[in-house]
Each structure stands twice: as C-alpha cells, then as structure tokens.
Amino acid sequence: MKQAGESGPELGGAGSITLPNSSTTLSVEEYASQPTDQTRTGFPKQGGQSLSYWLQQVRSDPLLDHRTTEALPDDADTVIIGSGITGTLAAREHLSIWPDKSVVVLEAREFCSGATGRNAGHCKPDQWRGFGKFEKVYGKEQAIKILNNEADTWHALISYVRENNVDCDLWVGDTMDVPIDDKVARLSKEIFDRYEEAGGRIDHVKVTQDPVEAARITRIKDAKACYAWQASTLQPWKLTAHIMRGNVETGANLQTYTVAKSVTKSAGGRRRWTVHTKRGDIACDNVIHATNAYSAALEPALEGVITPKPHICTKVVPPRAVSGSRAIRNSYGVLLPDGGLCSINSRCNADGNVLFGGSNPGQQALDDWVAKHPENCINDGLADVKGVTDCVRHFINGNFVGWDDAEYGPGEGIQYSWSGIIGLSVDGVPLVGELPGKPGQWICAGHHGHGMARAFTAAPGLVKLMSGQTWESVGLPDVYQIAAGRLEKLKKATASRVATI
Ligand SMILES: Cc1cc2nc3c(=O)[nH]c(=O)nc-3n(C[C@H](O)[C@H](O)[C@H](O)COP(=O)(O)OP(=O)(O)OC[C@H]3O[C@@H](n4cnc5c(N)ncnc54)[C@H](O)[C@@H]3O)c2cc1C
C-alpha cells in the first residue's frame, strides 16, 4: 500500500534543525513564519490531501460531501466562498441579520477541509507575546487592541460551545508559554514588562521567573520561565460542522466539491456579480471571500498580500510512563532559541494524544524545501515528512521530562503527521472589509496561522459591516481593515521584498 508521505520531501534529520531566523523578536503568531516568495498562490489542491487527525475522526459524517440542492442555484443574495470557520461563521451571522436572504456556501473539496479542518486545535488568545512586534508596527494602542480582541474572541468561542453544548472536546485550562533559553527568557520579560507599562491587561497571566519552579510547573527540563493563562483546545472540524448544520437548517445552501473559478461583474440583470464554477454560474449581489490561504488565486489584487504556506502537525501517543495520572495537563508554546516556537496541544480532557505543531521545530527546513519547490505552496497532501518528524522527536526527547528514557511499545510514540495551508498576510494581521473598488465583494482572510483566535469576532464583524454598521461599532482592531491605502502599502512592501530576494 502506498503511504501518503512516500514521495514527500526528506528534509534531513534531527541534526539539521534550523530555527526561524529572528534573533531579536519572539514569534508573534502561534504558527507562522514568513515566506520567502510572496508571489506564490494557488487554488485548493484537488485530490491527494493528507487526512488530518480531525478529518480521520468524521469519515462517515454526511456533511463532508453535502450538497443542499442537487443542482447549483443560479441566483443568490450572497455567495460565501469557503467553508472553514470564517465562511461558516459568516453564513451564521448573515442568516441571523437577514433570515430571508439567500446564502450559498461554496467549498472546493470536503466541508471544512482547509486549514480549519487540519489545524492544531488551539484557540489560544495571545495575551502578551505579540505585543513586541505589534507595538513596533502599529503602536501601543493598536497592539493592545489586537491582544484584547483575541481575548474577546476566545470568550466568544467558549461561550458559544458551552451555550450550545457543542460536542467538540473543548478544554479550558492554562496554556503555558515557556522560554527555554536565557536570551529568549530575557526578551520575553522585556516584552511582558513593556506590555504592562503600556497598560496591557496582565492580571490573569501567572508569571514564574524562577527557572527551577518553571521547570517543575511545566515539566520542561530547560524551562527558564513560564507565562500561564487560560486558553482552549478543541476539535475544530466538529465545532465548525455544528455551526454549519445550524446554518443549513436555517436556510443556507452548502455546495461542497465546487470550486469558484472566478468572480466577474454581472452583465446586466438585477445582480451585481457572477461567481463562475464548473457546475454553473451563480448571480449574486454580495460575495464573501472566506478563502484564507487561497484568496489571491481568486482575487489577483491580493497576490503578494496573502500567501499560502504549508505547516505540519504531528500526532504523538504518549508512552505509558507519561500517561494516566502522569499525563501532560496543559497546552504550550515553547519559545525556542532564535525566535522559533513549538506549539503543543495535549488533548488532556479527550484522548490524551499530544499534537506537536502547526509551528514546530522543523518548520524552517520545510519552508526551505517549499522555497525550492514552490508548487508545494498549496500542498496539503504532505504527511510524515521525515525531517519534520525527526525534529519533533528530537524536541520531545530533549525537553519533556520522562519521555526520552521511556519504553515505547507498538502504538505509542509518533504516529502520523499531516499538512495544512496557512494564509500569511504581509503585515501579520487579517484583512477584513469590502474589497477596494469592488462594491459587494467582501473578505475576511489572511489569518496568519492564528485564525481560531480571530475568526469568532472577525467573521461576524465582516457581516455586520455589510449590514451598514461602522468599523468603530463592530469593534475589531483598526489595523484589520482592508482599506485601499493598506493594500497599496502592503503591495509596495512586497514588491521591494521580492526584488531583494
Ligand atoms: C497545521 C496547521 C495548524 C494550525 N494550528 C492552529 C491553531 O492551533 N490555532 C489557530 O488559531 N490557528 C491554527 N492554524 C491556522 C488556522 O487553522 C486558520 O487560521 C483558520 O482555520 C483559517 O480559517 P478560514 O476559514 O479562514 O480558512 P480555511 O479553514 O482554510 O477555509 C478556507 C476554505 O476555502 C476553501 N476555498 C478556497 N478557495 C476556494 C475556491 N476558489 N472555491 C471554493 N472553495 C475555496 C478551501 O478549500 C477551504 O476549505 C493552523 C493552521 C495549520 C495549517
């Protein structure tokens, strides 16, 4: 039997670990590093996707290939392109504001099989770490607004799950950011102190600066400090499916396996836009681009502004020595030397399988490989990439107490990894609003590997804007707004970066 990863890249072994190259800043986002080629783009890969752990759990769910009507409708008030968390939440808000308007949701492949269906399962609001970079780029006030918005988003997500009894393995507990090197620990403290001085909310963050105590709390051998606050992990496909099922019940028309190939101005008729697919065209007044990493394939103005890049998540079954009462009980962002990050989701209230990544210590090597083979920028068919797996193994053995000398039997240890595509935005924050020069075309995309901490406010926020609410009343950070000026600036920045490569 051919395994999914057989023809994939081999990126060297543990000895070849390379870390994201930033000696002066900490990773702003949970999962992203920068691409080297900003002009890459592409439509969702057809066929050969690796199945994420989440998608493997729902193979008999009819929502995967659901089509509400056999034929594609030829007319709708609004067409939403993309059925990830963004498109699904946008549909929900649309139905709530305009119960009588028609909404069609197009999905290129299985329902929610993009980044949302293949991520690492964190909803982890950044509560201090990103302040350093955001302050430099946007100033104090906006930096604080971004972090506050992430807290609001997390609250919105957990309230929704609790109020609706969503079966999605929701865990709420302490997530720990753990620097494992003196320089990174110093830098972390500087950023945290600056955030506090600027008036950032820190009362809920438990800080341990004593390395011995930090190693005890975190069970990470070289921990130099620990910053802990409440965050969540969950099964993202099940959450999104719950919301979409509600949408379909209240009138949304979901059409899976339907790629939107282009959007053009309607020639005459009563609608503004036409969305073209192989199964037919849909005339509509509004289009919502919820296409994240793939946005530029459909909307060329976004080329170089939103760029797709594969990240990998690895599922590990902990050995018996660290299972049961000795299992890991937290989620982590381990802050590696030179600005890298390893994110860890221990699924401690579910099956206890531990997920390492989307940001993992082998990411730089994967990025380098994609730079040499750019056609893989939208390849979510990567699995068990040797170099990344070796880096994860090396990381686990080197850092977690009790794992390296444990006895591993069959079924324990590293099991499987899969890839998903992150939508990097040039300035690290999403683009939300009406596409400049295209009235009726709206976008919420470019979540920069961190959409679970953004979409629950950004996607409904977009639809509120469509309904005429002002940006101020919607309450999103101002820097998320897709104004013509921002697009121009970002395109210029990209052009100069590409020119210097
Ligand atoms: C490995 C990995 C781990 C991650 N871990 C985390 C995490 O733990 N926490 C976190 O906050 N974020 C994480 N992220 C990022 C997060 O998953 C995304 O930011 C978020 O899911 C984006 O949601 P979305 O709905 O905007 O995009 P997506 O979920 O990608 O949805 C976009 C959808 O649009 C469809 N589409 C695109 N173009 C077309 C077209 N032309 N026609 C029809 N359909 C189209 C795609 O097929 C896709 O299903 C991770 C990402 C990856 C890849």
- Taking only the tens place, the pLDDT of each residue in 396-441 is 999 999 999 999 999 999 999 999 999 999 888 999 999 999 999 9
Q: Which two three-digit tokens encode residue 379?
A: 């390849």
**Distance from residue 436's CA to the centre of ligand 1 (Å):** 23
Of the candidates 266, 471, 96, the residue with the CA atom closest to the CA atom of residue 88: 96
Q: Does an H or E element contain 131, and which? A: helix 131-138
Rounded CA separation 45/376 (Å): 10
pLDDT of residue 32: 47
Q: Which two three-digit tokens encode residue 340?
A: 């890298």
Atom of ligand 1 nearest to the CA of 420: 53
Ligand 1 lined by 288 (C-beta under 6 Å): no
Of the candidates 448, 483, 500, the residue with the CA atom closest to the CA atom of residue 150: 448
Is the peptide bond between 358 and the residue preceding it cis, with omega within 30 degrees of 0? Answer: yes
pLDDT of residue 170: 98
Rounded CA separation 101/249 (Å): 14
Instruction: Give the residue ranges of DSSP H helices in 299-384.
Output: 363-372
Ligand 1 lined by 335 (C-beta under 6 Å): no
- Three-state SS at 210: coil
**Distance from residue 114's CA to the centre of ligand 1 (Å):** 5
Ligand 1 lined by 298 (C-beta under 6 Å): yes
pLDDT of residue 501: 26
| Amino acid in position 138 | Y
Which burial class, exposed, middle or buried, applies to 159 when counting CB atoms under 10 A from its CB (0-12, 13-18, 19+)?
A: exposed
Confidence at 339, pLDDT banded by 50, 70, 90: confident
Q: Give 202 or 29, the one with higher predicted confidence.
A: 202
Ligand 1 lined by 108 (C-beta under 6 Å): yes
**Distance from residue 182's CA to the centre of ligand 1 (Å):** 35
End-to-end CA distance of the chain: 41
Ligand 1 lined by 86 (C-beta under 6 Å): yes
Which residue's CA is the closest to the ligand 1 atom numbered 19? 451
Rounded CA separation 305/136 (Å): 20
Which residue out of 119, 259, 424 has the highest number of ligand 1 atoms within 8 Å of its CB and is therefore the one to mutate? 119
- Any idea which of 75-84, 88-97, 382-391 has the lowest mean pLDDT? 382-391
Ligand 1 lined by 295 (C-beta under 6 Å): no
Rounded CA separation 209/229 (Å): 15
Is 10's pLDDT higher than 60? no
Q: What is the pTM of this model?
A: 0.94
Average pLDDT over residues 260-285: 96
**Distance from residue 310's CA to the centre of ligand 1 (Å):** 11
Ligand 1 lined by 429 (C-beta under 6 Å): no
Which residue out of 292, 343, 359 has the highest number of ligand 1 atoms within 8 Å of its CB and is therefore the one to mutate? 292
pLDDT of residue 360: 84
* 280-289 and 75-81 beta bridge pairing: parallel
| Amino acid in position 197 | E
pLDDT of residue 269: 82
Enumerate helices (H) and strands (E) in the chain, giving the number of each: 13, 17
pLDDT of residue 21: 31
pLDDT of residue 14: 25
Distance (Å) of CA 286 to CA 81, 83, 272, 465: 11, 16, 8, 12
Rounded CA separation 234/246 (Å): 19
Ligand 1 lined by 294 (C-beta under 6 Å): yes
Ligand 1 lined by 85 (C-beta under 6 Å): yes
- Three-state SS at 280: strand
pLDDT of residue 365: 86
Which residue's CA is the closest to the ligand 1 atom numbered 34? 82
Ligand 1 lined by 80 (C-beta under 6 Å): no
pLDDT, one tens digit per residue, over 144-164 is 999 999 999 999 999 999 999
What percent of the chain is modeled with pLDDT above 70? 91
Ligand 1 lined by 244 (C-beta under 6 Å): no
Ligand 1 lined by 432 (C-beta under 6 Å): no
Of the candidates 228, 211, 137, the residue with the CA atom closest to the CA atom of residue 175: 228
Ligand 1 lined by 122 (C-beta under 6 Å): yes
pLDDT, one tens digit per residue, over 27-44 is 433 344 555 566 789 999
pLDDT, one tens digit per residue, over 82-137 is 999 999 999 999 999 999 999 999 999 999 999 999 999 999 999 999 999 899 98
**Distance from residue 221's CA to the centre of ligand 1 (Å):** 33
The per-residue pLDDT of the chain, averaged, comes to 90
Q: Give the CB-side neighbour count of residue 327, counting CA atoms within 13 A.
A: 19
475 phi and psi angles, rounded to 5 deg: 85, 10
Is 349's pLDDT higher than 80? yes
